[in-house]
Amino acid sequence: MSCKCLNCGITSKEVVLLSCRFNGEPVYVCVKCLPIFIHGSH
Ligand SMILES: [Zn+2]
């Protein structure tokens, strides 16, 4: 079972993924997409 980035869908084999929580669910975000979530995408 591989983890995927919530935003771009990249897998943990290709890039470092960070474990987070969204809406109480465990999700993963890659280091490239992390700034998007920090600054807000909408
Ligand atoms: Zn990503």
Q: In this predicted model, what pLDDT tens digit does every residue of 1-42 receive, in sequence order?
A: 679 999 999 999 999 999 988 899 999 999 999 888 888 766
Beta bridge mates, 25: 22
pLDDT of residue 15: 95
The residues, any chain, with a CB within 8 Å of residue 18's CB and separated by 6 or more, are 28, 29, 30, 31, 34
pLDDT of residue 27: 92
pLDDT of residue 22: 84
The whole domain housing 20 covers 1-42
Ligand 1 centroid–CA 32 distance in Å is 6
pLDDT of residue 42: 62
Ligand 1 centroid–CA 8 distance in Å is 4
pLDDT of residue 13: 94
Ligand 1 centroid–CA 9 distance in Å is 6
Q: How many domains does the chain have?
A: 1
Q: Backbone phi, then psi, for 3, in 5-degree steps?
A: -90, 145
Ligand 1 centroid–CA 20 distance in Å is 13
pLDDT of residue 4: 95
